[in-house]
Amino acid sequence: MTRVTVRPAVCCAWRKERGGGMPNRELLLIPGPTPVHDEIYEALAQETRSHTDPRFAAVLSDCLAYMRQLWNTDGEVFLFAGSGTLAMEMALVNTVAPGETLLVVSQGYFGDRFAEIGQAYGLRVEVVRSAWGEQVDPEMVRQALARGGVRAVTLTHVDTSTGVRADLATLVPVIKESGALCILDGVCATAAMEEDMRRPYGQPEWTLDVVLTASQKALGVPPGLGLVAFGPRALAARAALPRVPAYFLDIARWQPIMADPTRYFATPPVNMVYALHKGLQIALAEGWAARYARHERLGRAVRAALRQYGFRPLAEEAAAAPTLTCALCPEGVDEAAVRKQLAARGVVVAGGLAHLAGRAVRMGHMGNVRADQIAQALQQVGEVLQANGRPVPVQAAVSAFWQAYGEE
């Protein structure tokens, strides 16, 4: 394993200058986990109580209430130990029976994951795919749905492999017009982009049916929790299934616990629930609209700065995600070497996935990470490029960042 030399002094300096909040020794700008706020670490370190203790149950109940606010749902929410993948499984297994058809709308690696999960559960899976970096053509989705028999359609709000956002305003009406359920993977979007489950997309009853996420991205909480919301039509779909091919993931087993968290089905990760409780309170204090707007500004600002260095964001501006940027490296840049040197300066970014390995970097800019931290990281990117003999304009990039972000 490579030993990474961290430069605590860099991060401590940021912390002192900006009033604290992030004790992270390294600045984790991968697509998740994201930097964790001091107050969340403090919440995580509280005394572990019995999972049926009414004091813990009250905290879990609060989390569920906050989740209902986050997604503005009149359905039911579920919180459990697991990662985003398990949340994806929960969404599918409770809505589509083996042998029924699932249409996967894929804009990258994580869109494709729904197809693999569907196949593992014996669903008939059809996939409509875009080229990496592009949005799916809604006409192809319409045509796939016109063939009939599709029970549910999956969308990935932001595909973490490409930094492309799904065009919900166009796709959701196409899906709902067909009568299929609409399942949204919000793992790289929830709490940074609006996912309002009562928002009508064209017709009053055309709404998102299931939205899912995990704790470690735009919620800014360590990894370990799956969060899922089922709207009324998705709940009716589960109720109509005589059984589901799962035990832990069957929402019928969780419904009594979510209604009364002093009851037991499977032990919840008590300390992670404390952490989420604080994470959701931090997000609520910022306000959803402000948080979404801040992420839009951050995304624009990161892309503007990276362009100054010759990186090319894979997604067109209109399709680019506010949470994460996948950018092609300038010709001749050794991306692995750059990332290694950045890590030595305490800034951790990810490389490209699949055919983009060695050709692209992926930088997360979501959750509770501050704009000044990202600006510092972008300055470090420029300095590393300069150290490798590329005469990039560091100050111009940092200025482009602040100009696009909207404040100096």
Residues near ligand PLP (CB under 6 A): 31-32, 83-85, 110, 156, 159-160, 185, 187-188, 214
Residue 195 Cβ vs ligand PLP, minimum distance, rounded to whole Å = 13
- In this complex, which beta carbon is closest to ligand PLP, that of residue 223 or of residue 232? 223
For the chain, the straight-line distance linking the first and the last C-alpha, in angstroms and rounded, comes to 40
Residue 218 Cβ vs ligand PLP, minimum distance, rounded to whole Å = 11
Residue 216 Cβ vs ligand PLP, minimum distance, rounded to whole Å = 7
- In this complex, which beta carbon is closest to ligand PLP, that of residue 32 or of residue 382? 32
Residue 91 Cβ vs ligand PLP, minimum distance, rounded to whole Å = 11
In order, the DSSP letters of 200-239 are: -SSSTT----EEEEETTSTT---S-EEEEEE-HHHHHHHH
Residue nearest to ligand PLP (CB): 84
Residue 321 Cβ vs ligand PLP, minimum distance, rounded to whole Å = 10
User: What whole-number distance in Å separates Cα of residue 92 and Cα of residue 113?
Assistant: 12
Amino acid (one-letter) located at 347:
V
- In this complex, which beta carbon is closest to ligand PLP, that of residue 126 or of residue 185? 185
Q: What does R_g of the chain's alpha carbons equal in angstroms?
A: 21
- In this complex, which beta carbon is closest to ligand PLP, that of residue 193 or of residue 270? 193
Tell the residue number behind the tokens 């700065």, with chain if given.
Answer: 305
Residue 291 Cβ vs ligand PLP, minimum distance, rounded to whole Å = 18
User: What whole-number distance in Å separates Cα of residue 208 and Cα of residue 6?
Assistant: 43
- In this complex, which beta carbon is closest to ligand PLP, that of residue 82 or of residue 231? 82
- In this complex, which beta carbon is closest to ligand PLP, that of residue 368 or of residue 376? 368
Residues 6+ apart with CB under 8 A from 80: 86, 90, 225, 226, 248, 254, 266, 268
Return the sign of the alpha-carbon dihedral for residues 256, 259, 260, 265. Answer: positive
- In this complex, which beta carbon is closest to ligand PLP, that of residue 101 or of residue 160? 160
Tell the residue number behind the tokens 């209430």, with chain if given.
Answer: 65
Would you call 127 exposed, middle or buried from its count of C-beta atoms within 10 A (0-12, 13-18, 19+)? middle
Instruction: Return the DSSP state at 7.
Output: -
Residue 239 Cβ vs ligand PLP, minimum distance, rounded to whole Å = 26
